[in-house]
Chain A
Amino acid sequence: MKARTSWDVVCTVDDLVPESGVAVWTEDGPVAVFYLPHRLPALFAVSHTDPFTGKNVLARGITGDLKGQPVVASPLYKQHFNLQTGQCLEDEEVAVKTYPVLLDGNNVRVEIPATNKESAVA
C-alpha cells in the first residue's frame, strides 16, 4: 500500500489562544496546538498526552522559553517539553510526539501520518 499522509484541518485561528494551547481531536488521537505569536513559525503541535502519566493535559500547560527553546510545562508534574522536538528537558529518555502544523488561510492544519491514521480507525 502507498504511504500517504494528510493535512487535516483541526481548528481555526479563532480557536487559538495566544501564548497558550488548545486540545484538538485528530485521527491520531488528542493533539495540543500551541500558538506563540512572538515566534516564527508561531504554531506548534505535540501530542496532548503527558508521557509521564498518560493523561490528556499538555495543552493546559504554561508555555514559555527555557534557554531559548520554546517549551510547555506539564500541568500535572511540571516537566518541560521542547515544542519543536518534543524532548523532555528533565529526562532525556522521554519525549512527546510532534506533528507538522501550518496555517492555511483561517484553518490550522496538522499532518497526520498515514500508518497511524489507519491503525487509529476504530
Chain B
Amino acid sequence: MSKKTLIVIGNGMVGHHFLEQLVETPAAADFDIKVFGEEKLLAYDRVHLSEYFGGSTHADLAMGTADWYAENHIDLRLGEQVTGIDRANQTITTPMGDYAYDELVLATGSYPFVPPIKGNEHPHCLVYRTLEDLDSIRASADGVKTGVVVGGGLLGLEAANALKSLGLDAHVVEFAPRLMPVQLDSDGGALLKHKIEELGVQVHTEKATTEIVEGEEARLRMNFSDDTHLETDLIVFSAGIRPQDALARSSELAMGERGGIVINDQCTTSDPHIHAIGECALWSEKIFGLVAPGYTMARTLASVLNGDTEAAFTGADMSTKLKLLGVDVGSIGDAHAQTPGARNIRFNDEQAGHYRRMVISEDGKTLLGAILVGDNSHYDTLLQYALNGIELPENPETLILPESQGGAPALGPDALPETASICSCHNVSKGDICGVIDAGCTDLAGVKAETKASTGCGGCAALLKNVVDSELEKRGVEVSKDICEHFPYSRQDLFNIVKVNGIRTFRTLIRDHGKGHGCDICKPAVASILATCWNEHILATDHVPLQDTNDTFMANMQKNGTYSIVPRVPGGEITPDKLIVLGEVAKEYNLYTKITGGQRVDLFGATLSELPEIWEKLIAAGFETGHAYGKSLRTVKSCVGSTWCRYGVQDSVGMAIFLENRYKGLRSPHKLKMAVSGCTRECAEAQSKDIGVIATENGWNLYVCGNGGMRPRHADLFATDLSDEELISAIDRVLMFYVRTADRLQRTSVWMENLEGGLEYLKQVVLEDSLGIGEELEKHMADLVDTYQCEWKTAVEDPEKRKRFREFVNAPSKKDPVQQWTTERDQRRPLLEEEPA
C-alpha cells in the first residue's frame, strides 16, 4: 500500500505537539508528513516568550530540533506560507507550487487583536506574539524610557514584564476596571494591581484609548476617553487573540460567527479530510487561548488518525497557575461564581498580600472554582477538589486559611480518586500511576520512567511523590527514607545526630548509630555533614577514605582517569598576570584548556602525580582551590556592573567577589551556584542559580532556589531592595537552613519543592525568624567563614598528604600506560575508544 500524505499547516507549540504524539503511534508509518510554517523558526515555547529578553535564545525556547524532524522523516518547510486550499482536488498552494494531501491539519494558531484605535499604525505600535515581534520591541525600546502595554490580561502582564526587563518604565493600560478580568474578581485584581505597582509597573484601569498621536516628551501620546493622557515611547498591544482562520474561511469551511474553524469532538472540520487544533479551532462555540487545551486537541487528533474511534475532545479545564512579574496568580474553574446558587468564602490578608476565594456549590459539598493572588501554595489542593468533585470537609474555609489559624494541610493522596489528573503535561492520572505500581514499579524513578509523569513542567513533582509513596505503602512496600543500609536515618537526621552529640568521625558515628562499615553513599554524605559541622581538612586522616575520588584528590576525574583543575576566580575577575600564569601552567603540563560556564578556566588532563606540582605553581601565583570537585560553592558569576556598564546600578562584581569569598569552602548537600547581576537586564543569569542577586536602584533583590542544568527552575523572588548587610544575613540563613535540612544530593530547587510550606515557609524562617534560629544559623556560618582554609595550600605543604598523589606507590616515575592522546584544534585530548591509536 502506498503511503498517504498528511500535511500540517502551522508549526507552533500545538502543531509540534501533534507531531510528537503522532510519531509515537503506528499510524505514523502510513503517512508521508509535510509541515508548513509561516515563521522561519522551528516551533518554540510561546508561554515563556518573555524569557527571550532574560537572555534565552530561540534554541532555548525551541520545542524540537531540525534533527528530530529529520529522524522522523518529516518534511519541514519553514518560511513557506500556504496561500490556498483546493478542497475538491485535495491540494494546497504555496508560492513554491501545489501539494496534494490525503489528510490536512490546520494548526495555524492565532494573531494578536489590535483594537481599532486611530493612530495604531504608528511604527512604534507593536504586538507581542512571535520572536520577531520581540526583536521589534527590543529595537523600538533601544535608548528610550517608557513603554505601554494595552491590555491587562495574562499576556499583557507578560508583555509588561518583558518591557520591564528591557529597562523601560512599564505601564499597563486596561479597559476593564481590573487586571485579568477573565480570571480574577475585583478584590483579587486590586491586590494584583497593588503588587505589580510595587514592582514598578504602573497600572491604569478603566482607560479607553481614543487615539494615538505624536507625543511632546516621548514619541507617542495616548489620549483616553476621560480626557487624560499618557506619553510613551512605544505601545505593545496585547488585547486578546483572534483565530488565524483566513485559509479556512477562503476555502469555505464552516466558521464561527466571530471567527474560528468549527470542529467536532474528533477535531475534524466540516470537511472530513481537514482537521483543526489549537487556537484556530472553535469547539462548542469556544476558542481555547491556553496551550494545555491545544495539547489535548493534538493528542485527540493523533489518536483519531491512528484509528481510535473512541478518541474525543470533550473540552478542557481552563484553570491557570502562573507567576506574573513574580506574583503568584491562580484561577480555577468557575472563578466568578456563575453557577446558580454558588456561594463564596474569601480570605483577604492585605498585610501579607494574600487573597484567596473559594466558590462552592449551594449544598456546600463541592468546590466549583477558586481565585488565588499572592500565594499559590493552595492551588494544587484546590484544583484536585474542583477537578475531581471531591467532597469538601465540614469546614471548607480551613482549606484557604493560613495553617496558623487552623488551616488544613494539603489534600492527602488517598483522598484523590483514580481519575484525578496528577501530571497534566503528560496526562497521567492517579489510576495510571497505580497501574504501573501494580505492574511492578517499586520506586518514584520507575514510575516517572514508565508514565513520564512529572517530566514536563515538573510542577506536580511533590504531589507525584506523595501519591507514589502512599500507594507503595498501601501495597506493603516500605518507603524508606534511610540513606543506605548502614544508617536507618535520613541525611537531616544524621546531621542532627552529629551536631547534637558532637561526633567528629565517621567511625564513631557508624559504631554508635549505624551498622556495618559504610559505603559510597553514606561515606561522602557524612563527610559533608562533618565538614559543615566542624570544618576540618577533608584530607585529615579520618576523613580521607570517606571522600569521593574528586574530593580525595581535590580535582575532577575525567573519563580517562585523569583530572581537571579549576582554580577559583572570584566573580570572574582576573588580572592579566594571573591569566598568564594559567596559560603558562597549562602549557607546561600540556593541559587542554577551556572556559567554563561559571567564568573560570578549566585545565584538563593532569595525572594524579602532577596535581600537587601544578597546585604549588598556582598557589605561588595567588590562586586558591575552586572547589569544582566538591559539593560546595562553585562560582559566583557576575556581570561587569555599575563600574563599567552604562545601565548598571550597583557594583555587581564587588558583591560577587564578596559572596564568593564568604561562602567558598562551605560543604553542602550538593553543589551551589550563585550569580550577581548589576541591573534588571540580568546578564549574569542570576535567576537560574541557587542564590541569585539582582541590583536595584535601592539595593539588591534576592532570588533563591533556581537551577539550570537537567531540570531548570526559575529562582523565586525572596526579598527586595535589601542593603548589603540584610542581603548577607538572608543568604547566610537560607544556605545554612538548606545545609541542615536538605537530603543527600538534593539541590536547592528540589529542596524548595519538597519543603513543606514552600517559599512562604522559608521566608518566615529566614526573614521573620519564626523558628527563632536565625542568629544561630548566622553564627554557624560565621564560624565556617572564620575557619576557612585553602585545602590545596594545606595539602601541598604537608608531605603526608602529598603521598596520596602517587600514581603507583612503588614506582614514582611510572606513567599510567593506558593514557592515549591525540591533538584536536591545537590542543591535546584523550583518544576515544573508537578512534585508532
A-side residues, CB < 8 A to B, are: 10-11, 15, 17-20, 22-25, 30, 36, 38, 49, 53-57, 60-68, 70-71, 73, 75-76, 78, 80
Contacts and interface: CB of A to CB of B under 8 A. Distances in A.
B552 to A, nearest CB: 7
A110 to B, nearest CB: 10
Nearest to B527: A62
Contacts of B560: 55
B549 A64 contact: no
A23 B518 contact: no
B809 A24 contact: yes
Given A73-B520, A78-B520, A24 B808 contact: yes
B548 interface: yes
B170 to A, nearest CB: 50
A17 B545 contact: yes
B34 interface: no
Nearest to A66: B519
Given A20-B544, A20-B545, A57-B561, A65 B809 contact: no
Interface in B516-556: 516-520, 522-524, 541, 544-550, 552-553
B646 interface: no
24 contacts: A10-B810, A15-B803, A15-B810, A17-B544, A17-B545, A17-B804, A19-B544, A23-B808, A24-B810, A25-B814, A54-B818, A55-B560, A56-B818, A60-B608, A62-B545, A62-B547, A64-B486, A64-B517, A64-B519, A65-B516, A65-B517, A65-B518, A67-B485, A78-B520
B623 to A, nearest CB: 24
Contacts of B550: 75
A46 B547 CA distance: 20
A35 B40 CA distance: 64
Given A20-B544, A30-B816, A56-B561, A62 B519 contact: yes
Main secondary structure of the interface of B (DSSP, over half): loop
Contacts, number: 95
Give the one of A20, A22, A55, A68 with max B CB within 10 A. A55
A18 to B, nearest CB: 7
Top 3 closest pairs, chain A to chain B, by CB = A19-B545, A64-B519, A75-B549
B809 A15 contact: yes
Interface in B782-837: 803-804, 806-811, 814, 816, 818, 833
Interface in B481-517: 485-486, 516-517
B557 interface: yes
Contact of A61 (B520, B541, B818): B520
B549 A71 contact: no
Given A64-B517, A64-B518, A78-B520, A18 B545 contact: yes
Interface string B313-327: 000000000000000
Interface string B640-663: 000000000000000000000000
A65 B559 contact: no
A61 B547 CA distance: 9
B544 A62 contact: no
Contacts of B519: 62, 64-66, 71, 73
Nearest to B803: A15
Contacts of B608: 60
Nearest to B812: A25
Nearest to B553: A60
A25 B544 contact: no
Contacts of B814: 25
Contact of A25 (B549, B552, B810): B810
A30 B548 contact: no
Given A25-B811, A55-B818, A66 B561 contact: no
Contacts of A64: 486, 516-520, 522-523
A96 B814 CA distance: 22
Nearest to B550: A75
A57 B549 contact: yes
Contacts of A78: 520
B813 to A, nearest CB: 10
A17 B559 CA distance: 25
Contacts of A73: 519-520
Given A57-B561, A64-B517, A64-B520, A25 B808 contact: yes
Nearest to A14: B803
A76 B559 contact: yes
B548 A75 contact: yes
A58 B218 CA distance: 70
Contacts of A22: 806, 809
B517 A36 contact: yes
Contacts of B808: 23-25, 30
A101 B486 CA distance: 28
A23 B807 CA distance: 7
Contacts of A30: 808, 816
A90 B486 CA distance: 19
A75 B523 contact: no
A75 B552 CA distance: 11
Contact of B816 (A11, A56, A67, A70): A56
Nearest to B816: A56
Contacts of A80: 520
Given A17-B544, A57-B549, 9 more contacts: A15-B810, A20-B545, A25-B811, A54-B833, A62-B548, A71-B519, A73-B520, A75-B549, A76-B559
A36 B559 CA distance: 27
A76 B816 contact: no
Contacts of B552: 20, 60
Interface string B172-195: 000000000000000000000000
Interface in B201-222: none
B740 to A, nearest CB: 24
A107 to B, nearest CB: 11
A61 B560 CA distance: 15
Contacts of B548: 62, 75
Contact of B549 (A17, A60, A70): A60
A114 to B, nearest CB: 20
A37 B833 CA distance: 38
Nearest to B814: A25
Contacts of A71: 519
A11 B806 CA distance: 12
Contacts of B553: 60
Nearest to A18: B545
Contacts of B486: 64
Nearest to A30: B808
Contacts of B516: 64-65, 68
Contact of A53 (B517, B522, B559): B559
Contact of A11 (B522, B559, B810): B810
A62 B517 contact: no
A104 B518 CA distance: 28
A28 to B, nearest CB: 13
Given A17-B545, A25-B810, A57 B520 contact: no
Given A17-B544, A23-B807, A38-B517, A62 B561 contact: no
Nearest to B506: A19
Interface string B601-622: 0000000100000000000000
A62 B816 contact: no
Contacts of A68: 516
Nearest to A16: B809
A112 to B, nearest CB: 13
Nearest to B804: A17
A117 to B, nearest CB: 16
B466 to A, nearest CB: 29
Contacts of A62: 519-520, 523-524, 545-549
Nearest to A8: B810
A62 B544 CA distance: 10
Contacts of B816: 30, 56
Question: Which of B485, B520, B541 neighbours the largest number of chain A CB atoms within 10 Å of its CB?
Answer: B520
Nearest to B551: A62
Contact of A66 (B485, B523, B806, B833): B485
